Amino acid sequence: MDVTMPQLGETVTEGTITRWFKQVGESVQADEPLFEVSTDKVDSEVPAPSAGVVSEILVPEGETVPVGARLAVIGDSAAAPAPAPAAASAPAAPAPEAAVPPAPAPAPAAPPPPAPERASAPPSAAEPPPAPVAPPAPAAAPAPAAAPPPAATNGAEGGNGVVTSPLVRRLIVESGLDASQIKGTGAGGRITRNDVLAAAKGGRPAAPAPAATPAPTAAAPAPAASPAPVAPESQRSAGDVVIPFDNIRRRTAEHMVRSKATSAHVYTSVEVDFERIERVRIANQAEWKAEEGFSLTYLPFIIRAVSDVVHDYPNLNASVDGDSLLVHRDLNLGIAVDLDFNGLVAPVIRNADGKRLRLIAREIRDLASRAKRKQLSPDEVVGGTFTITNMGPFGTLLTLPIINQPQVAILATDAIRKQPVVVDGPDGEDTIAIHHVGHLALAWDHRAFDGAYAASFLNATREVLETRDWEAELA
């Protein structure tokens, strides 16, 4: 049975195979994770469509292919297909040997011409004889296996004539590298994404280019900009470990840098007294956990308050569209979820402004747990109009987040701790009490509105959190 690249979302047209959980010859059960695919939206584990044995893997890790492309074959036995590739590679082995006899053959007639070339180029003196052999050996054998699909693509071949994927070619261009200087470690010498990242870390072969054109001073700054990001990382000591960015880390880096360069970031925060919410949580925690199967946290209360207040401050639930502000009717709330320190995604609670606290809590639990298991579909992480990131479980005091483009605001919630606060006593006098206190920090885009608007939104949210009858909300 053929395994193809699935349609992982309405807007997804291609995916990158980041990991195969099964190799050729291994058994797989239906619905057991077979491979991991990365899109521009999210990383997902894809289950096997049927039980059997993996007889072929047609797309190696690191390759990007369109939706519907054949990725692998699941059959009844792996023994038969396994020898086939081995047999196919067997004829390739004699190729170098067949190429060796021609070396002595032309020796009697051809020594004169090559001789001057060797003399004129000492470094390549040993190279001319094997020259006809070396290129065909690494490139000609694997080329038939991987070359057919992209063969006609412009610039699809690396320096060794090995076909690379569109993703790898793009990385090579973005990194300012020369494909001919990158040694491929993939099948048949294919250049993989990790090869490009390793080459970028180790030093850029583009350096000689500026040397070739020392005259124009205007051209010097342009190449200098390419190695600039690598320069600070060039100082290494024994024992240092180089960890290339994986797909999700690279996407996050690109998105965050672009956001900082796009939005006029401003940060505003307020202190919130959560004592009323804390008492409701403690009083209802046991019953809640028995009914829902998970603990009642502060986050659903905050989302519920934001959902109510945002209607009075619609410009926060908006996106920048060119030189216009697109104000959204529905509040599609993105919740930033940490993937066990291996990335970050923001699944979306659709129409959060129309849901009560209990349903909000259920959706938070569901989306977060499936995000950690890489079971989200790309459509579940797109379309957000406002984002909340919760650093509270890690004990933070004040977080200044980066806006999730093209949104205009993101709210950070931090740790809630016991603190002494001044409260009104029974006779109207000021007294000191111990309450649960935390901060809400809003990062907002100054292009969309001004400070008074952001501060007023935070103050209104604080008032709802501190004064609402939350006991009735849980009823």
Q: What pairs with residue 443 in β-bridges?
A: 267, 410
If you ran DSSP here, which 8-state letter would residue 240 be given?
A: -
Q: What distances in angstroms separate CA 150 from CA 163, 188, 192, one per listed residue?
A: 7, 15, 15
Tell me the one-letter amino acid at 269: S
Report, as residue numbers or ranges, the catalytic residues: 446, 450
d(CA 282, CA 322): 47
Task: Look at residues 396, 333, 345 and name the one whose alpha carbon lies nearest to residue 369.
Answer: 345
Structure tokens at 277: 């919410």
d(CA 360, CA 307): 10
Residue with tokens 């901060």: 439
Kindly give, in sequence order, each residue whose CB lies less than 8 Å from that of residue 333, ignoring residues fewer than 6 positions away: 303, 306, 307, 348, 349, 352, 384, 385, 386, 387, 388
Kindly give, in sequence order, each residue whose CB lies less than 8 Å from that of residue 390, ignoring residues fewer than 6 positions away: 299, 335, 336, 412, 413
Element spanning 318, H or E = strand 318-321
Kindly give, in sequence order, each residue whose CB lies less than 8 Å from that of residue 384, ignoring residues fewer than 6 positions away: 332, 333, 334, 346, 348, 404, 407
Q: Can you tell me whether residue 223 is helix, strand or coil?
A: helix
For residue 359, count CB atoms less than 10 angstroms from its CB and return exposed for 0-12, middle for 13-18, buried for 19 or more.
middle
Task: Look at residues 22, 25, 2, 1 and name the one whose alpha carbon lies nearest to residue 81.
Answer: 25
- Check: CB of residue 267 under 8 Å from CB of residue 455: no
- Check: CB of residue 330 under 8 Å from CB of residue 350: yes
How do beta strands 64-66 and 265-273 pair?
unpaired
Q: What distances in angstroms separate CA 138 from CA 132, 160, 187, 444, one per listed residue?
A: 12, 8, 10, 54
Structure tokens at 19: 């990991």
